[in-house]
Amino acid sequence: MPRDPRFDILFEPVKIGPVTARNRFYQVPHCNGMGRSFPSSMAEMRRVKAEGGWAVVCTEEVEIHPSGDHTPWAGGRLWDDRDIPVLARMCEGIHEFGSLAGVELNHAGQTSANLYSRVPPLAPSDMPVTMREPVQARAMDLEDIRALRHWHRAAALRARRAGADIVYVYVGHQLSTMSHFLSRYRNHRTDAYGGSLENRSRLLREILADTKDAVGDTCAVAIRLAVDELKGPLGFTSDGEGRDLIEMLAEEPDLWDVNISDWSNDSAPSRFAGQGFQDDYVAFVKQVTSKPVVGVGRYTSPDAMVSLIKGGKLDFIGAARPSIADPFLPKKIEEGRVEDIRECIGCNICISGDTSFVPMRCTQNPTMGEEWRSGWHPERIAPKHADETVLIVGAGPAGLECARALGQRGYAVTLADKGAEAGGRLARERRLPGLSEWGRVVDHRTWRIGQMADVALYLESPMTAETIRDFGADHVVLATGARWTADGVGRENPTGIPTEEGATVLTPEDVMAGTRPGGPVLIFDDDHYYMGGAVAEALRQDGCEVTLVTPATEVSCWSHATLEQHRVQARLMELGVRIVTAHNLSRIGRGGAELACIYTGRTQEAECAASVLVTMRRPVGDLYTELAGSLPSLARIGDALAPGTIAAAVHSGHRHARELGAAPADGVPFRRELIELTADWPARRD
């Protein structure tokens, strides 16, 4: 199908200093949990994005020296020449498709505790490091500043030797020493590098000049800057020093990559920020520079992209999360396949991989992080192994993805669900406050399935063991999901919670179905992700008096991994939800509940007409029990196998579709990156 001419502007080449990008799609630097720890996985992931049409593909933060050691985060590294081959492999893959490779050099200063290098961290002023480590950064003297300039220049030269086309001077997100020098609240110096904005920007201007002198003849030199820190007059603002700095340096870099700070604001989850949420902050940049500007906003609509370009706000459509959800987003627009785009849902499960130091995963794109280790491609899949039929029971995230992928392979697939709409758990959860965009997981797959002649979806079609046997499919896959339990069994109470007869106990399914108690509600959250907070918000919005109790020391504590814990807790506090942390729900009564401090065991009573237990989900396994041993091919996927995140369910469905008909793996079912011992092993012990 030909490209819609409305989108032609997105495919114009754009000059960036001495290099030219083939279109306006720009994958900005983003972490991925791979980096130096899983370099083959990192390189192949970036290569696939170039194949998918991104004209510029950038690294994550790349360390330039042991005094800015990100460990345990798995970022990039260019400490010395031995690190060049990893970066070179990535650049080669990107160049294979005519795209430009960008390298985001960084010295993390006060935001690195140097746990591996054990070198004292450096900062503009004496101050503790920003993470919760008993480590303090020392104030840099002039010799340290000269050394930092040398390290950055040397790293820029290494990046060029590796094949980089764009070299970054990184001052974004308050994650770099240069951004710390710029900061009013981190830089307490009284010398030529402190005080006024001109002084605080001196190090940035020096390093920018050093980098241009070193590589600017062949590489574009970019600045990545957070123009607003959302801290008011304490920090940079887009109508204050953020704008002043860009006006000061307007024509100096070859490209401005602009956003807001910190990371949790720049990558705000869809529960709290819609697409284009940064537009108003960065719109001024094009007014004060003639250099190309890239910005982000979780853009997935080509119409919105065109509007940004034609409106003079951006030259490049920047993306991190949308490029993860669909590495082939640019190609799909170029080929007139806009409907095929897997739109990012803004759940930030991708970020949880990085914060957990493992290869990134994605709810929408189950191949993310599997490109090298499993050989999965986001758009290609092996054809069917035989002319066989598949019956999938359950049209939730796992069942939908399994049906879609099997249909892509060419199997004849029947997908049956007892509900009136597809989506399983998401049919309900997408209606919780802030989670509407998560419904894209369902919408994308039902649309794709609807285009497949050999895949049929039947709703309001409950299946029994007898009807499944009578159906006669060659393969039966059970994606029957899981249900929240009402017995209180969970992490804190492995044997359950004692409950008085006649007490009203609800589950999240009851709340999502519309049940509203006639009095105060107590929510016990032993799950620690989004459900407890979302249910509390839903009940409170409907006028219920709500108390949320959790054995953790804060609400939804796992959502730190998705950069939203502070927002969840703030939202509940603003709504008037009473929050009781560090307490277990030790007994449920008919008119109240007993809470026990997890530290002292001291108890207190809480009045409630009903308790909502957010503790664990139990697989719906009756069909599997009845069918086990009676069919030639029977499998469980997703929550029916092991309840987890939506991303885990989608991955499970995709994996089963990939592996159907393949020989079972012998040993580890994916490739591993093994560390080789150096030539001087064994080390001397004297």
pLDDT at position 675, please?
79
Judge contact between 34 and 74, C-beta under 8 A: yes
Rounded Cα distance, 162 and 39, in Å: 14
pLDDT at 684 over 90: no
Rounded Cα distance, 392 and 560, in Å: 35
Is the peptide bond between 517 and the residue preceding it cis, with omega within 30 degrees of 0?
no
Is the peptide bond between 72 and the residue preceding it cis, with omega within 30 degrees of 0?
yes
pLDDT at position 292, please?
98
Rounded Cα distance, 619 and 628, in Å: 15
**Residue position matching structure tokens 């083939």:** 22
Residue-by-residue DSSP string for 291-305: S-EEE-S----HHHH
pLDDT at 663 over 90: no
Mean pLDDT, all residues of the chain: 96
pLDDT at position 1, please?
73
Residues facing 413 on adjacent strands: 390, 455
pLDDT at 445 over 60: yes
Q: What are phi and psi of 171, to 5 degrees?
A: -135, 35
Q: For strand 578-580 and strand 546-549, is the pairing parallel, antiparallel, or unpaired? A: parallel
Q: How many CB atoms lie within 10 A of CB 529?
A: 18
Tell me whether residue 516 is exposed, middle or buried, using C-beta atoms within 10 angstroms of its C-beta: 0 to 12, 13 to 18, 19 or more: middle
**Residue position matching structure tokens 């799609």:** 25
Rounded Cα distance, 298 and 392, in Å: 33
Q: What are phi and psi of 534, to 5 degrees?
A: -65, -40
pLDDT tens track for 598-644: 999 999 999 999 999 999 999 999 999 999 999 999 999 999 999 99
pLDDT at position 255, please?
98
pLDDT tens track for 100-139: 999 999 999 999 999 999 999 999 999 999 988 999 999 9
pLDDT at 277 over 90: yes
Average pLDDT over residues 445-449: 97
pLDDT at position 682, please?
67
Q: Which of 561, 525, 519 is nearest to 539 (CA)?
A: 519
pLDDT at position 679, please?
73
The arrangement of strands across the sheet holding 603-607 comes to: 583-588, 592-597, 603-607
Tell me whether residue 380 is exposed, middle or buried, using C-beta atoms within 10 angstroms of its C-beta: 0 to 12, 13 to 18, 19 or more: exposed
pLDDT at position 686, please?
56
pLDDT tens track for 415-433: 999 999 999 999 999 999 9
pLDDT at position 495, please?
97
SS3 23: coil
Residue type, 364: Q
pLDDT at position 680, please?
73
Rounded Cα distance, 200 and 108, in Å: 17
SS3 27: strand
Q: Which of 181, 186, 188 is nearest to 202 (CA)?
A: 181
Q: What b-and-e string marks burial along 352-366, b requiring 16 or more CB atoms within 10 Å of the CB? A: bbbeeeebbbbbbbb
Q: Mention every residue, 6+ apart, whose C-beta is less than 8 A from residue 495.
A: 489
What stretch of H or E contains 603?
A: strand 603-607
pLDDT at position 683, please?
64
98: left (phi over 0), alpha (psi -120 to 50) or beta: left
Of 83-87, 374-378, 581-585, 682-686, least confident by mean pLDDT is 682-686
Residue 563 is given by DSSP the state: T
CATH T-level topology, domain 5-355: TIM Barrel (3.20.20)
pLDDT tens track for 181-233: 999 999 999 999 999 999 999 999 999 999 999 999 999 999 999 999 999 99
SS3 456: strand
230: left (phi over 0), alpha (psi -120 to 50) or beta: left
pLDDT at position 333, please?
98
pLDDT at 438 over 60: yes
pLDDT at position 290, please?
97
Q: Mention every residue, 6+ apart, whose C-beta is less than 8 A from residue 535.
A: 432, 508, 511, 512, 523, 612, 614
Q: Which of 47, 56, 45, 48 is nearest to 22 (CA)?
A: 56
Tell me whether residue 580 is exposed, middle or buried, using C-beta atoms within 10 angstroms of its C-beta: 0 to 12, 13 to 18, 19 or more: middle
pLDDT tens track for 281-297: 999 999 999 999 999 99
Q: Which of 397, 355, 325 is nearest to 565 (CA)?
A: 355
Residue type, 35: G
pLDDT at position 263, please?
87
What does the chain come to in residues? Answer: 686
Rounded Cα distance, 293 and 282, in Å: 9
**What percent of the chain is predicted at pLDDT more than 70?**
99
Q: Mention every residue, 6+ apart, whose C-beta is less than 8 A from residue 220.
A: 16, 17, 18, 19, 100, 165, 166, 167, 254, 255
Rounded Cα distance, 527 and 530, in Å: 8
SS3 57: strand
pLDDT at position 596, please?
98
pLDDT at position 45, please?
98
Q: What CATH number labels 484-618? A: 3.50.50.60
Q: What are phi and psi of 453, to 5 degrees?
A: -65, -30
To the question of pTM greater than 0.85 for the whole model, the response is yes
pLDDT at position 664, please?
84
Q: Which of 262, 75, 103 is nearest to 183 (CA)?
A: 262
pLDDT at position 2, please?
85
At residue 681 the predicted structure's pLDDT band, cuts being 50, 70 and 90, is low
For the chain, report the end-to-end CA distance as a whole number of angstroms: 70
The CB-side HSE value for 39 (13 A sphere, CA atoms) comes to 16
Judge contact between 64 and 155, C-beta under 8 A: yes
Residue 233 is given by DSSP the state: G
SS3 638: helix
Domain 389-481+620-659: give its CATH superfamily.
Answer: NAD(P)-binding Rossmann-like Domain (3.40.50.720)
The residues assigned a catalytic role are 31, 170, 173, 266
Residue 383 is given by DSSP the state: P
Q: How many CB atoms lie within 10 A of CB 510?
A: 19
What residue spans define the domains of the chain?
Answer: 5-355, 389-481+620-659, 484-618
